[in-house]
Structure 1
Amino acid sequence: MKKIIVALDGLRLSDSSIQTAITLTHQHQAHLVGVFLDDFTRNSFSIEEAMATDRFEELSKKDQQLRDGSVKVFEERCQQGKINFSVHRDKSFAIQDLLRESIYADLLVIASDETFTRFVEPAPTRFIRDLLAEVQCPVLVTPAEARPFQHVVMLYDGAPSSVFAIKMFTNTLPLVRDLPTEVITVRQGADSTHIPENKLMKEFMKRHSPNAAFTVLQGDPEQEILQHLRDVDESTLIVLGAYQRGNVSRWFRTSMADLLMKTRNCPLFIAHYK
């Protein structure tokens, strides 16, 4: 039985993360852990303003009630989904607690706009960027609205990191791999029209996603991939690797994960190669 964790902010609960995590847990007969990051520095209010108006205790109590209510909502949703689940309430620094939890998980589900602060940021947030650089298990980043997965797109550049991400995806979510799948690669200049390591990669894919179709694009990888995925349905799950700090894919000047979170409203499965 696999262990899926979903990272949740009790002061701003992500419905899309919960819905996606419950669906995957049910499909794969896994165990789901709701990791509520009750960071002691996280408040829904400005501490300076609360102290100035002598309302700190009142507002802190309301925050605690909201956090407790969020846990109850999660538990009720899991019970309705008829899945095995448990709850962790971590009270130290959110990023440190979540990285520690990820060591002992098969998959982490988190919303692309999570900040674990009272401020809103566009995706990818600073928290998400820091998490993806150091996380110890594959991550499924969810958009604001959860949709059932209908298609899978895998990004492949011939580097071990991209193959590793595909391997982790098909091993972690074996039912999802049966969806219609496209493997995209980009060749530049006078490069071949074949995918890198053509024979080995196709042999590998026959065992992991035998019905996958291959698409070879020509040109700048960032531009060509974003253009190719311009009209992609939001129910498409994109699989990619190479999010290690200081070691992004040979294709990209910045992380493709960042570009996709900024420009496409699709879920991302990200696993990096150590």
Structure 2
Amino acid sequence: MKKILLAFDGTHFSNGAFQFARELNELEPALVTGAFLPQAQAANLWSYADGMSGPMFVPLVEERNTEVMKENMTKFETLCRRNGMEYRVHEDLYDFALPELKAETRFADVLVIGSEVFYENLGGKLNEYLQDILHRSECPVVVVPEKYNFPKTNILCYDGSESSVYAIKQFAYLFPELTKQPTLLVYIHEDGKNEFPQQVNIEELVSRHFSDLTLMKLDMSPEKYFSTWINNRESALVVSGAFGRSAISQLIRKSLVKDVIAEHKLPVFIAHR
């Protein structure tokens, strides 16, 4: 049984994130923990946490937002009971010390967040605190759009870096029930570098976990074309080591993590050390 942490901007309930957790629970029963952050807290989540060594508190949201947040908590509980899901809810939200959400990721198998609600206040841009969540979370993160098809295929983004291999392994360990699906191991190469890095080694590893595996090389500019190519693939889940250090990892980071998530079409699994 896994522990799935669902983080909501308290005034916006992400149906996409909840449905993803529900479908994972159908594949294998899980404990689903809902964390409902008041909007002011969500917007300053990591910046406040990093600047304070001890407990700290942020201003309360308006009364109306508080009521909406409580309604969303009730909705979460009702949906969990209706779907036979074991669940927990963060209590004492008004005294909730922000660093505890980051700590919560240390004790969760995976964090699931809805991508679109985290964009709502910033005109559709991948905002700073969502980037910080992806970077600072101590467990893998799945970023889910509101409308999507539950994945029937996997796209593993590989660039030869430690980060990309780590993400692939974490995905396989966490979701063995998804590894039976058709899977593409995709390598995007720089001009003049046409061979898979460590092809024998990566194929030996990945083929042990993914029974229907295809290796693919894409000769394209990641910055210009990768998100377009990947978003045209239906019912897929993208696996990425978001913070690798190689040149290609930086390009994938810019294009995939920002552009693919911003398109709100495919779930993206992100893991880094």
Q: Over residues 81-121 of structure 1, what are the superposed CA-to-partner deviations in whole Å (9 max), with x where a residue is unaligned?
A: 111111114446786343121111000000113339x8353
Alpha-carbon distance in 2 for matches of 1:186, 1:38: 40
- Cα distance in 1 for partners of 2:179, 2:155 equals 10
- 1:155 alignment partner, SS class: strand
1:3, 1:33 within 8 Å by CA — same for their partners in 2? yes
Map 1:12-31 → 2, pairs under 5 A: 12-31=12-31
The separation in 1 between residues aligned to 2:158 and 2:98, in whole angstroms, is 29
> Is the contact made by 1:17 and 1:142 (CA closer than 8 Å) also made in structure 2?
yes
Given the alignment of the two structures, is residue 111 of structure 1 paired with residue 88 of structure 2, yes or no? no
Which residue of structure 2 lines up, in the alignment, with residue 271 of structure 1? 271
Q: Are 1:17 and 1:146, in contact at CA under 8 Å, matched by a contact in 2? A: no
Q: Are the counterparts in 2 of residues 7 and 35 from structure 1 also a CA contact under 8 Å?
A: yes
Spell out the pairing of 1:81-92 with structure 2 (5 A cutoff).
Answer: 81-89=83-91, 90-91=93-94
Letter of the 2:33 counterpart: V
Contact map agreement 1:180 1:212 (CA 8 A) in 2? yes
- CA deviations over 1:189-210 (Å, ceiling 9, x no partner): 3324x42111111100121112
2:238 maps to 1:238: yes
Q: Tell me the TM-score normalized by structure 2.
A: 0.83
Structure 1 residues 191, 204: closer, same or farther in 2, change over 3 A? same
Q: Deviations over 1:16-46 (max 9, x none)?
A: 1111112112312111111112366579xxx
Of Structure 1 and Structure 2, which has the larger fraction of its residues in helix? 2
- Taking the TM superposition and a 5 Å limit, the aligned residue runs for 1:1-274 are 1-38=1-38, 60-89=62-91, 90-91=93-94, 96-115=99-118, 119-192=121-194, 194-233=195-234, 235-243=235-243, 247=245, 250-253=248-251, 255=254, 256-263=256-263, 265-272=265-272, 274=273
Calculate the TM-score normalised by the size of structure 1: 0.82
Residue 95 of structure 1 contacts residue 131 of structure 1 at CA under 8 Å; is this kept in 2? no
Instruction: Tell me, yes or no, if the aligned pair for 1:17 and 1:110 is still in contact at 8 Å.
Output: yes
**1:93–1:229 Cα change, 3 Å:** same
Larger radius of gyration: 1
Q: CA deviation at 1:144?
A: 2.1
> In the aligned structure 2, how far is the partner of 1:37 from the partner of 1:91?
9
Query: Conserved in 2, the CA contact under 8 Å of 1:4 and 1:108?
Result: yes
For the 8 Å contact 1:154–1:184, the answer to whether it is kept is yes
Deviation for aligned residue 1:216 = 0.9
Q: Give the letter for the 1:119 counterpart.
A: N
Q: How many residues align?
A: 253
Distance 1:42 1:231 in 2: 31
Alignment CA distance shift 1:157-1:9 (3 Å): same
In the alignment, the residues of structure 2 paired with residue 180 and residue 94 of structure 1 have an alpha-carbon distance, to the nearest angstrom, of: 42
Q: 1:11 to 1:39 in 2, by over 3 A?
A: closer
- Residue 80 of structure 2 aligns to a residue in which SS? helix
Closer, same or farther: CA 41–268 of 1 in aligned 2, 3 Å = closer
Q: State whether residues 112 and 123 of structure 1, in contact with CA within 8 Å, keep that contact through their aligned partners in structure 2.
A: no
Change (3 A) 1:71 1:251: closer
- How far off is 1:248 after superposition? 6.8
Q: Which SS does the other structure have where 1:23 is aligned? A: helix
